[in-house]
Homo-oligomer: A and B are copies of this chain.
């Protein structure tokens, strides 16, 4: 009883819901019989407590089982004629590869080995957010609080303080809280750009951003990443040729290559932005994974033509989706208006969670632990991936990602499709590039890349190719 197939592409939670439904329908689980406890079942199936809890809640919502406080879960008594409701899954993934990949990474039940995803293991995030602080929020009347459109002023003050420590002269009135970095990029593109405008992008670069910008019908011009940052020769040629409105770039711990631009490269980018008069949207989503006080465009430019985009989704918790942007006085008011037109306002609860973590000093301690853990994971994963037959091209960089090349003859896209069937999520390089710059490559999450199932899968394919 209660069998699930780990290697199936079907999410484990969905399998469990279906399995219990079948057991009830077939009469093997009879009315009012008691189900195993959540923890028991999770251990027995080798899945998380969360997966079982959620499956049980879905079964409850469907009226198939019921919870008796203090006693456990039981098969519900049913009206005679009532058929078992059909189990419905979400829609099949979109046909766009980037959107399909985004959906997979977001669904905790859809993958067994998130080797290509961008999230940290949940254990790495524990103990940062304090439940007592949340209770305090409700006790102090938080339930009635709406977040101001621009975001909680106390949170904005704390962000300003952090930015100033990195020598970025932000002001509270120049900070806008968003539902994550993608939301910030969406607001920027909607408000400051028009369909048909030309923008420069990193190549390779973050796939969701590339898809967002394409959906805005912008004309995307790729700028190659090189060892010390952006290829300044190409950047200048493209700026002269296309007169872009904006450059979307990640100078620190770049996704997917891990490259951190040198101060000199930053200076070069900024000089071109000044000469050819384009704005820069600088993605700082992974900045806090690296050593403090790296030189960035925002720091040199002092937020004159650079828009700083940050996020706590990766480093604090994906359950909160809080990001922000910091920019000049001229740009922010219209972006606040655009936020109202997009979502009206943020969630005061979420803004409070982040505020509490920042104000309590826990965030700094969390980052110290995180960087240590990540450095160790990078070293281990790098060794294991190389032993499996891949070449890791950025072992010495910091951050979350390893950028690895497959042996000649192996196609990364085909490999990713094959891996998905085995419950392993791979991020093929093609997804990150408008050119062929990503082909034959995979992006790995250093925290997830030492999983034996992944390594075995890779070693087998690499040996055949060799």
* A residues at B contact (CB < 8 Å): 13, 48-50, 53-54, 57-58, 60-62, 88-92, 94, 96, 99, 102-103, 105-108, 110, 119-126, 128-129, 131, 134-135, 137-150, 152-154, 157-158, 160-161, 171-173, 179-180, 182-183, 186, 208, 211-212, 215, 317-322, 329, 332-333, 336-337, 340-350, 352-353, 355, 359
Which residues of B sit under 8 angstroms from A215, Cβ to Cβ? 341
In Å, the complex CA distance between A13 and B156 comes to: 15
**A149 contacts across to B, CB distance below 8 A:** 102-103, 106-107
Residue numbers in B under 8 Å from A341 (CB-CB): 99, 182, 186, 211-212, 215
Q: Which residues of B contact A129 (CB under 8 A)?
A: 138, 143
Q: In the bound complex, do residue A88 and residue B186 qualify as a contact, i.e. CB atoms below 8 Å apart?
A: no
A175 shortest CB reach to chain B, Å:
9
Chain B positions within 8 Å of A108 at CB level: 144-146, 148
The listed residue (B99, B139, B148, B161) touching A340 by CB distance below 8 A is B99
Q: How many copies does the complex hold?
A: 2
Q: Which residues of B contact A91 (CB under 8 A)?
A: 150, 173, 329, 332-333, 336
Using known A-B contacts A50-B145, A58-B153, A88-B171, determine if residue A94 contacts B337 with beta carbons closer than 8 Å: yes
Closest B residue by C-beta to A127: B143
Question: Could you list 20 further interchain pairs (A-B, Cβ under 8 angstroms) beyond the known A50-B140, A62-B157, A143-B317?
Answer: A50-B145, A54-B153, A57-B154, A58-B154, A88-B173, A90-B153, A91-B333, A99-B340, A102-B340, A108-B144, A122-B141, A123-B144, A124-B144, A179-B179, A182-B341, A182-B343, A317-B349, A319-B349, A321-B344, A347-B350
Contacting pair B349 A320 (CB below 8 A): yes
Residue of B nearest to A171 (CB): B88
Give Cα A124–Cα B143 distance, bound, in whole angstroms.
10
B102 touches A53 (CB 8 A): no
Cβ contacts under 8 Å, A152 to chain B:
54
- What residues of B have a CB within 8 angstroms of the CB of A50 in the complex? 140-142, 145
Tell whether, in the assembled complex, residue B148 and residue A61 are in contact, meaning their CB atoms are under 8 Å apart.
no
9 A-B pairs whose Cβ atoms sit less than 8 Å apart in the complex = A48-B141, A54-B152, A61-B157, A88-B171, A96-B337, A103-B340, A122-B145, A131-B138, A134-B138
CA distance A121 to B377 in the complex (A): 50
Minimum distance in angstroms from A53 CB to a CB of chain B:
6
A183 touches B344 (CB 8 A): yes
Contacts of A61 in B (CB 8 A): 154, 157-158, 160-161, 359
Q: Give the shortest distance, in Å, between A335 (CB) and chain B (any CB).
A: 10
Cα-based distance from A240 to B343 in the complex (angstroms): 33
